[in-house]
Amino acid sequence: MRHHIATRLLTAMGELAARGEDCGTVERLAEMAGLTGAQVSDACQVLRRNGLARHVRHHCYALTEAGRKAAAEGVDVFRGPRGPIGPTAPRRDSLMQRAWAAMRVMRKFDLARLTVMASRDERWAYKAITKYCAVLRETGYLIRIDAQGSTRGRRGASSRYVLMRDTGPYAPRWRKPKGEVFDPNTQTAYPIKPEGVE
C-alpha cells in the first residue's frame, strides 16, 4: 500500500532524527521521501499543525518529541497535505494539543511543569490546563499521585499526574455540553465521571 504524503515525510524525518541530525531541508527531505519540494512544504505544515514537526530555521524542519514517537510507532494518519484518513486532525496548534503532546513525552508531571511545557504565554494557561487534566482524570486518561507516589493523596500543590491511556498524537477533546471527552485517535467518546463517583 502506498504511503500517504505526510506519512512518507514523517518517516523520512524520523530517519534524520535517528541519525542525530537537528533538521532537514526541504530539498533533503524531498530526496529522502521521493516527493517534490512543494509536497514537502505542504506536508510540513500538516505535521506542524498537529504538533509533530517544528520549523528550526529557513526551509529546515525537525520532528517534535511527539513527532519522534509517531515516527517510531509507524503512525499513518494522513491522506495527504490536506487532511486525515481516519482520526480528525486538530484544526490548529492549540494549548490542549501542546499539553497533550507534553504529557505523552513526560508521562509523569505536575501542573506547573506541564503549563511551562505547553504554554505560549497564554495568561489563562494554568487554569485551563488544570481543568483539562481534571477532565482527563475523570475519563481514565490520567491518575493523580501525591509526592510519595500514592494515589490516595489529596489534591494539592505537590500532587502529580501520570498518563495511563496514551491513544495517539491527537489531544482528546472536552465536549462540555455533552459531558464527555471525545478521542479523535480512536473515535471514542468517554462520559465524564466526577471525582468520587464510581
With 60 as the cut, is the pLDDT of residue 78 above it?
no
With 70 as the cut, is the pLDDT of residue 149 above it?
no
Please give the distance of CA 3 from its chain centroid, rounded to a whole number: 21
pTM: 0.54
The confidence score (pLDDT) of residue 136 equals 96
The confidence score (pLDDT) of residue 29 equals 92
The confidence score (pLDDT) of residue 62 equals 92
| C-alpha distances in Å from residue 97, one per residue of 48, 62, 92 | 11, 18, 8
- For the stretch 151-197, pLDDT in tens is 554 555 457 999 999 988 889 999 988 899 998 888 788 899 765 44
Summarize the confidence of residues 94-106 as an average pLDDT: 91
Q: Grid coordinates standing for 81?
A: 497535505
Contact 133, 142 (CB under 8 A): yes
Summarize the confidence of residues 126-130 as an average pLDDT: 94
